[in-house]
């Protein structure tokens, strides 16, 4: 063959192998490549329902034909398909603005994913990689995205997520996602189901009246301190023993223990900051292994509630102040803090944190928080931190905690 008959040699080869997954596939293809003296520039491999897709980017050898023939022979022996794509240059760096876009749905429909992907394309974002974080009891998907401005993408996807009935979080792909963090949580209707003050009000026969004021305060229609003092006055005369009865009746949010247990293994610190009452929250913190707790103290005289509060009220500003103080004590930046809440009095706290999560929250809170989680599982927040359900269950299994098997 003359010099003019030879095609110019490409700088790189992308070898893509697809087929049924089995042990030895990866080693076989790399063994084949090892005889050609090529360098590996990039590798990506996924397995989806037993189907393997393996992509290997290598430098091009001086003679392509022997390598292509060897790769095709190996693929045939493995019963797989292979494609060899010629290219020039090394693997291109991803564009600036790398982000994690976490999508949570129950269910997560194909139409919802199509809508989100369409919005990302509209603003020039490229999806570089997709990973499943959980398939049960919710479906959670983490997309590695590049080429988009975070705030613009967050605003665009938040609107689409609301219309699709799913949750979407947009976060920068940086080291903070992997480092030790401080988690600061609201208590009522966040860490626990329901409102403690309404449970106490049932002992005073004024539950409906208290619930009405609570709802208005959480929507932001009433000043929190004024509404709290108004509700606490209605509790005057309730025996202090009612606090024990209320504590025993508290139901944690599904996944609360799992989240605390898992993140504590990774060195996370936890705090609860509540507009509720320290007689409840201090016990809750001790029970769950939460490091810090701040709440209002009910005044008790002669074994009965007086209808008053001791000291300053932990209100909207007080919650944010507590978050800053806890972060300083732990020694982490505010950017490393995750705050979780549902009511208007949580807004300053959510704004102060690096990641503010509106958890099954009122509309005013969802509109202003960094992201929303509207599935009834508190541990779904771990998917936003890059922790998969499989990793959680594996860690529990090592500790002898057995998780019920999901439906097939």
Q: What is the pLDDT of residues 132-154, one digit of tens each?
A: 999 999 999 999 999 899 989 99
Task: Say what the pLDDT of residue 96 is.
Answer: 58
Residue 35 and residue 67 share a domain = yes
CATH number at residue 145: 3.30.70.260
Domain of 295 in residue numbering reads as 182-376
Q: Is residue 398 part of a domain?
A: no
Q: What is the pLDDT of residues 282-316, one digit of tens each?
A: 999 999 999 999 999 999 999 999 999 999 999 99
Q: What is the pLDDT of residues 349-371, one digit of tens each?
A: 999 999 999 999 989 999 999 99
Task: Say what the pLDDT of residue 212 is.
Answer: 87
Residue 186 bears catalytic tag: yes
Q: What is the pLDDT of residues 94-122, one digit of tens each?
A: 555 689 999 999 999 999 999 999 999 99
Task: Say what the pLDDT of residue 4 is.
Answer: 45
Residue 203 and residue 172 share a domain = no
Alpha carbon 141 to its chain's center: 10
SS3 238: coil
Averaged over 226-231, what is the pLDDT? 91
Task: Say what the pLDDT of residue 92 is.
Answer: 58
Calculate the average pLDDT of the chain: 90
Task: Say what the pLDDT of residue 94 is.
Answer: 53
Task: Say what the pLDDT of residue 87 is.
Answer: 79
Residue 103 and residue 17 share a domain = no
Residue 108 and residue 33 share a domain = no
Residue 90 bears catalytic tag: no
237 pLDDT above the threshold of 60: yes
Which one from 167, 188, 342, 346 is the annotated catalytic residue? 188
How sure is the predictor about 241, in pLDDT bands with cuts at 50, 70 and 90?
very high
How sure is the predictor about 89, in pLDDT bands with cuts at 50, 70 and 90?
low
Which one from 142, 186, 342, 379 is the annotated catalytic residue? 186
Q: Is residue 382 part of a domain?
A: no
9 pLDDT above the threshold of 70: no
Q: What are the beta bridge partners of residue 131? A: 142
Q: Is residue 27 part of a domain?
A: yes
Residue 106 and residue 55 share a domain = no
Residue the block writes with tokens 């959480």: 218
Residue 206 and residue 105 share a domain = no
Q: What is the pLDDT of residues 313-354, one digit of tens each?
A: 999 999 999 999 999 999 999 999 999 999 999 999 999 999
How sure is the predictor about 380, in pLDDT bands with cuts at 50, 70 and 90?
very high
Q: Is residue 116 part of a domain?
A: yes
Q: Would you state the torsion angle of the CA atoms of residues 339, 341, 347, 350, taken in this order, to the nearest 10 degrees?
A: 10
Task: Please tell me which residue, 214 or 79, carries the higher pLDDT value.
Answer: 79
Domain boundary among 123, 154, 177: 177
**How many structural domains is the chain composed of?**
3
Residue 318 and residue 169 share a domain = no
Residue 144 and residue 103 share a domain = yes
SS3 14: strand
Task: Please tell me which residue, 217 or 325, carries the higher pLDDT value.
Answer: 325
Q: What is the pLDDT of residues 23-42, one digit of tens each?
A: 899 999 999 999 888 999 88
2 pLDDT above the threshold of 50: no
49 pLDDT above the threshold of 80: yes
Confirm if 408 and 389 have CB atoms less than 8 A apart: no
How sure is the predictor about 1, in pLDDT bands with cuts at 50, 70 and 90?
very low
Residue 108 and residue 49 share a domain = no
Residue 187 and residue 332 share a domain = yes
Domain boundary among 87, 114, 131: 87
CATH number at residue 207: 3.40.50.1000
Q: Is residue 115 part of a domain?
A: yes
The pTM score is 0.83
Please state, in angstroms and as integers, the Cα–Cα distance from residue 19 to each residue in 33, 140, 141, 298, 301, following that order: 19, 25, 23, 65, 74
Q: Is residue 154 part of a domain?
A: yes
Residue 126 and residue 188 share a domain = no
91 pLDDT above the threshold of 60: no
Residue 216 and residue 360 share a domain = yes
Confirm if 168 and 116 have CB atoms less than 8 A apart: yes
3-state helix/strand/coil string of 133-186 = EECCCCEEEEEEEECCCHHHHHHHHHHHHHHHCCEEEEEECCHHHCCCCEEEEC
Positive or negative torsion for Cα 321, 322, 323, 329: positive
Q: Is residue 106 part of a domain?
A: yes
Q: Is residue 229 part of a domain?
A: yes
8 pLDDT above the threshold of 60: no
Domain boundary among 32, 60, 87: 87
């Amino acid at each position: 063959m003359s010099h003019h008959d030879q095609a110019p040699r490409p700088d790189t080869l992308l070898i893509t192998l697809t087929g049924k997954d089995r042990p030895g596939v990866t080693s076989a293809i790399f063994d084949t490549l090892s005889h050609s003296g090529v360098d590996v520039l990039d590798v990506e491999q996924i397995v989806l329902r037993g189907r393997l897709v393996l992509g290997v980017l290598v430098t091009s050898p001086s003679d392509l034909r022997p390598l292509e023939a060897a790769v095709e022979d190996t693929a045939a022996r493995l019963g797989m398909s292979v494609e060899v794509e010629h290219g020039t240059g090394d693997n291109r760096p991803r564009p600036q603005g790398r982000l994690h876009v976490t999508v949570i749905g129950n269910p997560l429909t194909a139409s919802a994913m199509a809508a989100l992907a369409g919005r990302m394309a509209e603003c020039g974002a490229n999806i570089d990689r997709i990973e499943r974080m959980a398939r049960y009891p919710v479906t959670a998907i983490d997309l590695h995205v590049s080429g988009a401005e975070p705030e613009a993408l967050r605003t665009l996807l938040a609107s689409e997520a609301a219309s699709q009935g799913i949750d979407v979080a947009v976060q920068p792909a940086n080291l903070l996602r992997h480092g030790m963090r401080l988690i600061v949580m609201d208590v009522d209707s966040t860490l626990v189901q329901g409102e403690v003050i309404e449970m106490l009000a049932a002992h005073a026969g004024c539950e409906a009246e208290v619930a009405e004021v609570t709802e208005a305060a959480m929507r932001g229609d009433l000043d929190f301190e004024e509404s709290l003092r108004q509700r606490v006055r209605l509790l005057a005369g309730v025996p202090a023993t009612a606090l024990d009865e209320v504590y025993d009746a508290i139901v944690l949010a599904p996944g609360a223990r799992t989240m605390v247990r898992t993140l504590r293994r990774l060195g996370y610190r936890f705090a609860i900051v509540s507009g509720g009452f320290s007689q409840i929250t201090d016990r809750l913190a001790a029970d769950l292994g939460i490091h810090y707790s701040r709440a209002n103290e009910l005044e008790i005289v002669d074994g009965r509630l007086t209808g008053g509060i001791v000291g300053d009220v932990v209100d909207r500003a007080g919650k944010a102040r507590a978050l800053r103080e806890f972060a300083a004590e732990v020694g982490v930046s505010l950017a490393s803090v995750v705050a979780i809440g549902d009511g208007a009095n949580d807004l300053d706290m959510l704004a102060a944190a690096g990641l503010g999560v509106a958890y099954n929250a009122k509309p005013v809170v969802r509109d202003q928080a960094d992201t929303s989680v509207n599935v009834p599982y508190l541990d779904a927040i771990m998917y936003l931190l890059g922790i998969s359900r499989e990793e959680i269950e594996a860690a529990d299994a090592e500790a002898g905690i057995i998780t019920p098997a999901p439906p097939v």
